[in-house]
Structure 1
Amino acid sequence: MKRWGYSLHFELRKRPWVWPIVLLLAIGLSIGFWQQRQARTQFIQDYAGRLEKWYTPHKKAGKAEITAFKRSPAAYHQWYMDSLAVNLQKKPPTMALDGFGVRIYNDIDTSRGALSASISRTYTQFLYMKQHKIAPMYPDSLDVETSTGDLAGLNNQSTQMVLRDNPHYYLQGWYYLWYLIRANSVILLFLVGILLTGRQWAKELANKKAHSDWLLLQGQRTLAQLGNQFSIIFYTFAQIVLLPLGLVTLGIGLGAGWGDLRYPVFGFSNPEGLGLAESFMPLRSYLFQAFGLIILLILFLTLLNMVFAQLFRNSWLTTVGLLLVVGITQVMPAIPNFPLTYFRINETITGILQKTADSDALQPQSALLNLSWWCLALLIIVLLPIISQQFHQFWRTASHRYLQQA
């Protein structure tokens, strides 16, 4: 064990410097935060101008929206929530509160029920947040989900208008981490991890048995050598993927606040076994499952790296093969029980993939279990040469003893 520790330390020292790359990745990921801050500032300015322009001839009718917007985010949220309630006929309309506004439309294909699902979903979300005293993101917007067909009844012009008028800005620590996962930024980190680790084991194998024989002379068995390489690849992958996400979240959380881990995240679930239905999960549950899946994907890529290395015995072919695998995950359709499907982390955790493919094998818990089985299968493939070698050695020893006894 002591020799294994010395060998692992020696191998880690041979790696390229990882910390500068981690810092560069963290800086790169944080750029989106500053872009969102600037975009929100610009959106609020444009919205204020639209309010003044829109309600100039009808100052009395629009007074509630303008007054609430100018007063505070909390006042604007209350006006927005009350307007949704009027839209859903949960409150009677009044002269000051007719249920519509500059961004809550009364002239957009409402006869066919367009946006009714978004309005109902957003109101339900607001009720949950009010009950748990969770501050909403500012400015308030409809929760428009393309996966549920919210925009299916709109023409292209109306669709673009709805998307433009209902942005969401993730400007606190946990919320921005949520945004990075939704935006599939983890895939970029996987690609960088592959570039740094793709040559690790393949290069050793390409050197024939010279390095392996030297380690054997130092008293390190083949299984320990394999464990060394696995540890190095997995550790480097974890650094490249998890540390930038952690550093960005820490920096934004300390500077702009953390947000609330109870914040409702839209998804699909089947709690009563009666079919998938829209639901919300707390952000903490979403992040916990997402990082469980991310760690399993790191393990999967580590083992796949070692399988490719043993198959190709060429560092460049191993690296290119892994890059192609990750690239394919972004264009392939959802296939139940197939591990590459789970690289769409947000869609897997929220149940969107399960809804799209209409398969229970794609529900989050099944995805985690299936990916674990795939990792176990890859581990067995990695160990096959050693198992074969041990069996061959055992057979030779047994045969030799039998001949001696004969």
Structure 2
Amino acid sequence: MVSAALVLLMTPGVAFLYGGMTRAKSVLNMLMMSFASMAVVGVVWVLWGFSMSGSTGVAQLFGNPFEAFGLSGLVGTTDLIGAGFGATFAIITVALISGGIADRTKFSAWMVFVPVWVTLVYCPMAFMVWGGGLLSADGLIGSTFGEAIDYAGGTVVHINAGIAALVLALIIGKRKGFGTDPSHRPHNIPFVMLGATLLWFGWFGFNGGAATDPAEAGLIWVNTMAAPAAAFIAWILVEWMRDGKPTSLGGASGIVAGLVAITPACANVSPLGAIAIGIIAGICSALAVGLKYRLGYDDSLDVVGVHLVSGLVGTLALGLFALPVEGEGGGLFYGGGLGQLVAQTVAAVFAILFTAIVTFIIGMVIHKTIGMRAAEEDEVTGIDLTEHAETAYEYGGLGTGGAFRPHPSSPAAHRRTTTLDESVNA
């Protein structure tokens, strides 16, 4: 239960991380997208999400959604603890996606996307990896190519969220001024650092909540400390050599990249392996975040560069660094041959294809019906004001923080002031 609470805290961590990285006029919308994920997924998980991720399988793709519908059958059992723990993973996976479509997404469309995506993408992926489905030891793919290791969510959480963010970013299109407008810079770096802190703190529950004994828990704890530490150093060294200065944003991003990379491997590599994975993830993600400008996709807050890339690093690195179990198997560097690397690669490719196809269908249906993209004038004005009728900051007493008070320079305020002056003069 403590681990579940730590993981739930990670979603507000995502909210602050993303909120600080976006513009001042979009920060509330980013916070709301994360909190909406908590609310909507929390309800979906109780009703059918838990059943779909771990009950009797349907064609090895997903669990029977009605087997534990509403969780009423679990009342009085310890299974509710596992159900709650699983909910927090689903919540943060959806929240991560929002960073790829920041500044330009209708909140109403997000509220539709969240329950549909968690039902059709997250729950099936969780079942296929952790619930006895296709990618498990007895599943069709797992028994053919070998079972992939994904202790806490390399494929289910990070590759899944990264690909979904990329697909939605391509569907919605680029922000106005993408790559040229300097106002797209992060507006609150302390928020970013706070978010990274909350994530690192919560990640000990994220990785450690499923530990089977104190020895495994100790290994997970140390690895969850070491990998992001190494990734932080690697990321800022890349910045130092490339740009001449290390940045706070880069340091926070490096921490997250290391956490992402160690997620699937936390219980299956040594501390030295965790450091190596962190270094690789920090370098790869630091270089990958700039690809969006070269390739022309607007992944607003680098979900692809951090979560997809480092998720792939951690997943594939298990094929090299995985420790043998009772003297058998293990990664290539431990004499295990190519078997584990093949299994990890197949699982990663399957996750990419499955998530990309289903997310594209969901995104296009929403985009072509109610529309996902906010109007350009709303984007320029700021979607905090246009989507939520409020702003995050009160600048100099100008009235910009109220829900329905027009700015003094607006036509509405001018009419109100003129009417008041006329009545006084009369």
Greater Rg over alpha carbons, structure: 1
Indicate the TM-score class for this superposition, using the shorter chain for normalisation: under 0.3
Higher RCO (C-alpha 8 Å, min separation 6): 2
Under a length normalisation based on structure 1, what TM-score does the superposition of the two structures give? 0.27
Under a length normalisation based on structure 2, what TM-score does the superposition of the two structures give? 0.26
